[in-house]
């Protein structure tokens, strides 16, 4: 089952389905887990100081998770907070991606890629919120 479809089934979404936000929520959920996995893999790397990478991956995971939760909520209205959180999340994803790109580990490269995709989706979603 697609989270995009689930959002579209919500009674508040039937009249106006924000596809950009649904795409962002999808990526946010995935990015949160990828960052968490990358942080764990970084902890196991021998001979490298991965402290900053671990920190940014964990922070990014938490921010993505929180943003996805707010993005899923269609009942009521808190668009200014959601738009702000999407902007913060995009910046956090950019910072995490930049740090991960500094490392040759394949898990870091994959994390950087999803972070870049997620940042772009967050920016699109923020722009789509009136």
Query: What does the pLDDT look like over 20-65, one tens digit per residue?
Result: 998 999 999 999 999 999 999 999 998 889 999 999 999 999 999 9
Residues composing the chain: 130
pLDDT of residue 78: 81
- Dihedral of CA atoms 55, 33, 11, 77 in degrees, nearest 10, equals 0
Q: Flag whether pLDDT at 81 surpasses 90.
A: yes
Q: Flag whether pLDDT at 100 surpasses 70.
A: yes
pLDDT of residue 15: 59
- Dmax over CA atoms of the chain, in Å, equals 55
Residue scoring higher pLDDT (124 or 13):
124
Q: Flag whether pLDDT at 112 surpasses 80.
A: yes
Residue scoring higher pLDDT (109 or 15):
109
pLDDT of residue 34: 98
Q: Report DSSP letters for 78-107, one per residue.
A: -HHHHHHHHHHHHHHHHHHHHHHHTS--HH
CATH of domain 17-128: 1.20.1270.360
Q: What angle do CA 45, 62, 130 make, to 5 degrees?
A: 140
Contact in structure between 104 and 129 (CB atoms under 8 Å): no
Mean pLDDT taken over the chain? 90
């Amino acid at each position: 089952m697609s989270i995009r479809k689930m959002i579209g089934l919500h009674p508040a979404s039937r009249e106006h389905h924000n596809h950009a936000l649904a795409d962002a929520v999808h990526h946010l959920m995935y990015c949160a887990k990828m960052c968490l996995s990358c942080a764990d893999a970084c902890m196991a790397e021998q001979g490298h100081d991965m402290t900053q990478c671990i920190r940014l991956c964990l922070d990014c995971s938490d921010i993505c998770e929180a943003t996805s939760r707010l993005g899923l909520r269609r009942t009521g209205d808190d668009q200014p907070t959601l738009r702000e959180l999407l902007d913060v999340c995009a910046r956090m994803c950019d910072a995490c991606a930049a740090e991960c790109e500094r490392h040759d580990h394949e898990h870091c490269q994959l994390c950087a890629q999803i972070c870049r995709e997620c940042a772009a989706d967050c920016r699109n979603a923020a722009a789509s919120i009136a």
